[in-house]
């Protein structure tokens, strides 16, 4: 009997529906299919996710610097690093705002990972930055928190489950391939993780909000029919 690993299983159970939605071209069709398949996909993904188990990393020699395609939501914002502040708030005991210098003082983590786009392309990239779970820990979330929202300077918005945010390779990145993160890739700060599809990786993040409930606006593409969990 053929065996399947976690990634293959998700490709069959969850990712397949996401690819279907991305190619159908109909918001109505996407909405109907998403309502039927998403609850099952989400439960499967949450069940299979091990929030403490790292994804095997790739060697630096495998980096593909020319394969990372720059996708923009609406426009590329210009952010003055001296004025930039990351707000972390919501259902937390220690809301805060952090500037670039404060972020740089936190432990740096670098991960060589495969960035997978729902459009069918992929690129191996080394992202470097702060572990998201370290930032969450600093904010002291309340026990009821289950979701994390991300707001970006270009108006993009996303939401993740808390367990995925606590994964040790989920980063708020400010480096790409060992160099300062370019503005077109989301500088000064972006999401990066080997456990989520590319549309979950918000760029130009300015706010991280922790909450107990999933709000009606779950994510820019999710509100147009894409799968919410989007796990790999």
Q: Which of 91, 79, 210, 223 is nearest to 153 (CA)?
A: 79
What CATH superfamily is the domain 6-224? Oxidoreductase, molybdopterin-binding domain (3.90.420.10)
Q: What is the pLDDT of residue 53?
A: 80
Q: Model pTM greater than 0.85? A: no
Q: What is the pLDDT of residue 74?
A: 72
Residues 123-167 pLDDT 10s = 999 999 999 999 999 999 999 999 999 999 999 999 999 999 999
Q: What is the pLDDT of residue 27?
A: 39
Measure the CA–CA gap between 224 and 207, rounded to whole angstroms.
22
Q: Which of 133, 76, 97, 116 is nearest to 201 (CA)?
A: 116
Identify the weakest region by mean pLDDT among 33-47, 72-86, 131-145, 200-214. 33-47
For the segment 215-230, the average pLDDT, to the nearest whole number, is 94
Average pLDDT, the chain: 83
Q: Which residue has the higher pLDDT, 132 or 15?
A: 132
Q: What is the pLDDT of residue 1?
A: 36
Measure the CA–CA gap between 174 and 126, rounded to whole angstroms.
11
Q: What is the pLDDT of residue 42?
A: 56
Q: Which of 146, 161, 159 is nearest to 201 (CA)?
A: 159
Identify the weakest region by mean pLDDT among 46-50, 64-68, 142-146, 226-230. 46-50
Residue 185 pLDDT more than 90?
yes
For the segment 76-96, the average pLDDT, to the nearest whole number, is 96
Q: What is the pLDDT of residue 75?
A: 80
Domain ranges of the chain: 6-224
């Amino acid at each position: 009997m053929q065996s399947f690993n976690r990634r293959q299983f998700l490709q069959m159970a969850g990712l397949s529906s996401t690819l279907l939605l991305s190619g159908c071209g109909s918001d109505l069709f996407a909405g109907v299919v998403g309502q039927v398949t998403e609850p099952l996909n989400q439960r499967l993904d949450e069940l299979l996710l091990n929030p403490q188990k790292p994804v095997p990393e790739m060697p630096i020699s495998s980096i593909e610097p020319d394969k990372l395609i720059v996708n923009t939501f609406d426009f590329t914002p210009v952010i003055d690093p001296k004025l930039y502040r990351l707000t972390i708030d919501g259902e937390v005991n220690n809301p805060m705002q952090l500037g670039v210098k404060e972020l740089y003082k936190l432990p740096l983590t670098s991960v060589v990972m495969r960035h997978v786009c729902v459009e069918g392309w992929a690129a191996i990239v080394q992202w470097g930055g702060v572990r998201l779970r370290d930032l969450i820990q600093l904010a002291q979330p309340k026990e009821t928190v289950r979701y994390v929202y991300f707001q970006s300077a270009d108006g993009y918005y996303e939401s993740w489950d808390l367990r995925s945010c606590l994964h040790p390779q989920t980063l708020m990145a400010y480096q790409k391939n060992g160099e300062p993160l370019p503005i077109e890739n989301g500088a000064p700060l972006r999401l990066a993780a080997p456990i989520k599809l590319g549309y979950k990786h918000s760029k130009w993040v300015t706010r991280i909000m922790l909450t107990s409930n999933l709000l009606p606006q779950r994510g820019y593409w999710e509100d147009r029919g894409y799968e919410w969990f989007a796990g790999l």
